Amino acid sequence: MTKSYLELRSTITEAGTLRIHLESVPLPQPSEGELLVRIEAAPINPSDLGLLLGPADMSTLTAEGTAEAPALTARIPQQAMPAMRARIGQSMPVGNEGAGTVVEAGSDLQDMVGKRVAMIGGAMYAEYRLIRPDACVVLPDGATAAEGASLFVNPLTALGFVETMRAERHSAIIHAPAASNLGQMLVRICKDDGIELVNIVRSPEQAELLRGLGATHVVDSSAADFRERLEQAIEATGATLAFDAIGGGEMTSIILNAMEAVASRRMPEYSRYGSDTLKQVYIYGSLSTEPTILKRGFGLCWSVGGWLLFNFLRRADPSVAQRMRERVTAEMTTTFASHYTAMISLREALDPGTAAAYQKKATGSKYLIVP
Amino acid sequence: MTKSYLELRSTITEAGTLRIHLESVPLPQPSEGELLVRIEAAPINPSDLGLLLGPADMSTLTAEGTAEAPALTARIPQQAMPAMRARIGQSMPVGNEGAGTVVEAGSDLQDMVGKRVAMIGGAMYAEYRLIRPDACVVLPDGATAAEGASLFVNPLTALGFVETMRAERHSAIIHAPAASNLGQMLVRICKDDGIELVNIVRSPEQAELLRGLGATHVVDSSAADFRERLEQAIEATGATLAFDAIGGGEMTSIILNAMEAVASRRMPEYSRYGSDTLKQVYIYGSLSTEPTILKRGFGLCWSVGGWLLFNFLRRADPSVAQRMRERVTAEMTTTFASHYTAMISLREALDPGTAAAYQKKATGSKYLIVP
């Protein structure tokens, strides 16, 4: 066995340079309560890109270093530097989730050796990961690493939306944009659970895709009658809760205004304060860092907030979190199956052309790192 | 006693004309459980202006009608009409709160006749109001109608901020802009109760005014070092809750970013998702109908929402609401004293020049209607 392993690191310098390289890290020996996992697959989720590439100007991507020790650099625009203050000079490991095989374990966990596990916890873009068992789920026999690699972030987020709906006493969900891997999972969950879901997509092709999965309410934001259709779907479902993966621009505002238009039509008399129906939108992915523009034609009974899986899990009842994990494992190859555009090595992740491709965050494009 | 009385009404026509006039209304006879109050004073709060004048173009104010039956008209800009849809053609009474003397009462409430009361419930810009006792508070002996006229909206809103802080487990409050009548009440409440309050004002004169009332943390948004000072005040107070009366523009966003800057300095390590400190801003007055611009440099643990006194009271524990009312009456002439720029009659409220003046919503300018 080797005495060291490679781990991808992202660093931003005081001068505004992003640098990604592979760091050679001493291979640790697991103590009691620890597992050493050889990582076999780790997805590049939109939520990883913020740490991996930050707000780098993608037109400045440059290959540096040697074939042996490659590196990727890019410029950070000056105006984005203040928000980076807290990470300047820190060599940050990246990768929220992944899957691999337990190769060594503490004396109390010897029965785990040889098992394939899904993991969450960061630093997954690496050849190995020392981890505690409560951040792992043992995969069913015969499951591949690719099948288990994306078993946390998207599945738990989709289930977290449903649990949030229940906890906050809404009865239906709006999701925008809805054709992502996560969106497809949400369509399947809501179909199985009998929850009304309004899917906002960005093209007729995406609408087609979701209808093929059994989605009932699909509204295309590129259509001329988008707002009218959105109101109709809200009328039909009674949705007062939405999750917006973009955040920037006006989608959050458009959804709130459509909810209010429906609610105000049901009011017995006019109130200049708007309806007293609570309208909630969560911004969860922040795929756009542009400002959120709220055109407040939706009264005073509304809320817009950030939604983060890790915060949700920390505050959720442990039984809810347990129920979510069990379902994810049980439905790994059905509800929660992910599809990948390409599999790349750690070294390939540092190639400028490849980085430009996986950074696009385009719906339906998803990369898997196989260290 | 007259057989009819005058009540101010605001109507918006399909064609986009706002019309304010005085309607002659039959004087009702109070039944059991009802009081008839002769209204002696009713303030024009910012919260009344939305119904009274709507989004009218103030440059088009025109006097119409006769001296006997005056009217005021103005144009509603075309783009503002969709939001007015629900009130088109309805003759709406106006005026959230007021004070007056009980002149008649149902057989079960005869002991109330002759008492002076403060009231909430709408339709206060009128000579009389039929009302139930639970929407009234009997004023102390010797209290004037002017003293009791503004005893609900501003005082209960200011106390509602403090109760919201307690209920949502924050420990300090930021208020912007803070030099209003309401803001001055909040300074006094927080001083008495030992609550840390950050006051954002818009001029050195306003800063002076609040310091004179005993405010400790006053930050002037017109100063060059505003954002730095705001962060310092947040650092000193630990404020994670703010109330923004404007809503439009960037103040909400500036406050959230300052809270996050302080929270992130306290984090043991960098997280690309930002701090896990919940940062909450409520928009309560919506004095500006311009879009709210959120420049999301504040992570994913945040919430922005509407705050409305009536919704708060409906959801609050009855003992909390009772405690708030008792305090308001007890501290009527101290903590909750209001100051008026001018007293005007119902007819004067229909004068274009006067309307232009009371519509300005300027800090320190407040009108009282004395029917």
Please indicate whether, in this complex, the C-beta atoms of B291 and A82 are within 8 angstroms of each other. no
Q: Which residues contact A191 (CB under 8 A, 6 or more apart)?
A: A213, A214, A215
The structure tokens 């977290």 sit at A160
Mean pLDDT confidence for B272-280 = 93
β-sheet bridge partners, residue A7: A23, A126
By C-alpha distance, the chain A residue nearest B267 is A86
Maximum mean pLDDT: which of B218-227, B278-287, B320-329: B218-227
In DSSP notation, A92-161 reads EE--SEEEEEEEEE-GGGGGGTT-EEEEESS--SBSEEEE-GGGEEEPPTT--HHHHHTSSHHHHHHHHH
Does any domain span residue A254? yes
Residues B365 and B268 in one domain: no
Using a CB-CB distance cutoff of 8 angstroms, which residues of chain B are in contact with residue A300? Answer: 283-284, 286, 306-308, 311
Q: Which of B250, B294, B302 is the mutation pick for testing A, counting most A CBs within 10 A? A: B294
Q: What is the domain extent for residue B218?
A: 153-313
Do B229 and B80 reside in the same domain of the chain? no
DSSP state of B88: B
Q: Whole-number mean pLDDT of chain B?
A: 94
**Is B122 an 8 Å CB contact of chain A?**
no
Q: Are residues A358 and A217 in the same domain?
A: no
- How far is Cα B332 from Cα B140, in angstroms, rounded to an integer? 9
Structure letter (DSSP) for residue A199: E
Instruction: For residue A266, give the DSSP letter.
Output: T
In a domain, B20, yes or no: yes
Taking the CA of residue B64 and the nearest CA in chain A, the distance in Å comes to 25
Q: Nearest Cβ partner of A311 from B54, B301, B305?
A: B301
For residue B277, give the 3-state DSSP assignment.
coil
Q: How far apart are CA B160 and CA B327, in angstroms?
A: 12
Same domain, A133 and A208: no
Q: Which residue has the tokens 């040889």?
A: A114
Beta bridge partners of B219: B200
Work out the pLDDT band at B361, boundaries 50, 70, 90. low
By the CB < 8 Å criterion, does B90 face chain A? yes
**Contact assignment for A276 to B90 by CB distance below 8 Å:** no
**Same domain, yes or no: B238 and B359:** no
ipTM of this complex = 0.90
Close Cβ partners of B318 (under 8 Å, ≥ 6 residues apart): none
Best of B300, B309, B315 to substitute, by most chain A Cβ atoms within 10 angstroms, is: B300
How confident is residue A364, by pLDDT bands cut at 50, 70 and 90? low
pLDDT digits (tens, 9 = 90+) for A311-362: 999 899 999 988 999 999 999 999 999 889 899 999 999 999 999 999 886 6
Is residue A10 less than 8 Å (CB to CB) from chain B?
no
Selected for mutation to probe chain A from B53, B244, B272, B307 (highest A CB count within 10 Å) is: B272
Is the CB of residue A272 less than 8 Å away from at least one CB of chain B? yes
- Domain membership of residue B44 (yes or no) is yes
The mean pLDDT value of chain A amounts to 94
A51, A250, A275, A294: best mutation site toward chain B, by most B Cβ within 10 Å?
A: A294
Which residues of chain A does B240 touch, with a Cβ-Cβ cutoff of 8 Å? none
Q: What is the mean predicted confidence (pLDDT) over A291-315?
A: 94
Using alpha carbons, select from A11, A7, A27 the residue that is nearest to residue A19: A11
**CA–CA min distance A213, chain B (Å):** 30
Contacts of A87 in chain B (CB under 8 A): 270, 272
Statement: residue B365 has pLDDT above 80: no
Residues contacting residue A290 through CB under 8 Å, at least 6 positions apart: A247, A248, A249
Average pLDDT over residues B49-75: 92
**A182 lies in the same domain as A279:** yes
For residue B215, give the 3-state DSSP assignment.
coil
A267 CB near a chain B CB, below 8 Å?
yes
Is residue B331 one of the residues assigned to a domain?
no
In a domain, residue B121? The reply is yes
Contact call for residues B90 and B104 (beta carbons, < 8 A)? no
pLDDT tier for residue B289 given thresholds of 50, 70 and 90: confident
pLDDT reading at B67 higher than 90: no
Q: Does A164 touch chain B (CB under 8 A)?
A: no
Per-residue confidence (pLDDT) for residue A271, from 0 to 100: 86
Whether residue B308 lies within 8 A of chain A, CB to CB, comes out as yes
Query: A308 vs B51: CB contact, 8 Å cut-off?
Result: no
Q: H or E stretch including A292? A: strand A292-294
How many other C-beta atoms can be found within 10 angstroms of the C-beta atom of residue B362? 11
Q: Which helix (H) or strand (E) segment is B315 a member of?
A: helix B309-315
Predicted pLDDT at B363? 60
Q: What is the mean pLDDT of the segment spanning A7-19? A: 96
Confidence of residue A363 (pLDDT cuts 50, 70, 90): low
Does residue B223 sit within a domain?
A: yes
Strands B35-44 and B367-369: antiparallel
Give me the CATH number covering residue A307.
3.40.50.720
Q: How far is A124 from chain B (nearest CA, A)?
A: 16
Residue B306 identity (one-letter amino acid): G
Q: What percent of chain A has pLDDT over 90?
A: 82
**Band (A30; pLDDT cuts 50, 70, 90):** very high
Contact A93, A8 (CB under 8 A): yes
- Tokens of residue B112, six digits: 């109330």
Give the distance from residue B83's alpha carbon to the nearest chain A alpha carbon, in angstroms: 7
Q: Which of A231, A273, A276 to mutate against chain B (most B CBs within 10 Å)?
A: A273
Q: Given a cut of 60, is residue A1 above it in pLDDT?
A: no
Residues A58 and A117 in one domain: yes
| C-alpha A139 chain-centroid distance | 21
SS (H, E, C) A293-316: EECCCCCCCEEEEECCHHHHHHHC
CB–CB contact A292 B294 (8 Å): yes
Q: What is the pLDDT of residues A118-169, one digit of tens each?
A: 999 999 999 999 999 989 999 999 999 999 999 999 999 999 999 999 999 9
Q: Which of A343, A338, A339, A337 is closest to A357 using CA atoms?
A: A343
Same domain, A198 and A94: no
Residues from chain A that touch B83, judged by Cβ atoms under 8 A, are: 297
pLDDT of residue B364: 63
Task: Please answer whether residues A125 and A201 qualify as being in contact, where contact means their C-beta atoms are separated by less than 8 angstroms.
Answer: no
pLDDT of residue A272: 84
Q: Is any Cβ of chain B less than 8 angstroms from the Cβ of A89? A: no
- Among B283, B293, B301, beta carbon nearest to A308: B301
Closest CA to B174 of B295, B257, B291: B257
A107 to chain B, closest Cα gap in Å: 31
Q: Let me know if residue B326 belongs to a domain.
A: no
CATH number at residue A146: 3.90.180.10
DSSP B363: T
Number of domains observed in the structure of chain B: 2
Q: Tell me, what's the pLDDT at B82? A: 82
For residue B302, the cross-strand partners are B279
Mark whether A176 and A202 lie in a shared domain: yes
Nearest chain A residue to B84, by CA = A272
Same structural domain, B294 and B186: yes
Same domain, B210 and B88: no
Residue B1 confidence (pLDDT) above 60: no
Query: Is there a single domain that holds both residue A350 and residue A272?
Result: no
Instruction: Count CB neighbours of B87 within 10 A.
Output: 18
- Name the nearest CA neighbour of B10 among B98, B127, B89: B89
Q: Residue B34 falls within a domain, yes or no?
A: yes
Q: Sorting pLDDT into bands at 50, 70 and 90, what band is B2? A: low
pLDDT at B45 exceeding the cut of 70: yes
Please give the span between the terminal C-alpha atoms of chain A, in angstroms, as a whole number: 16
Torsion of CA A253, A259, A260, A265, to 10 degrees: 150
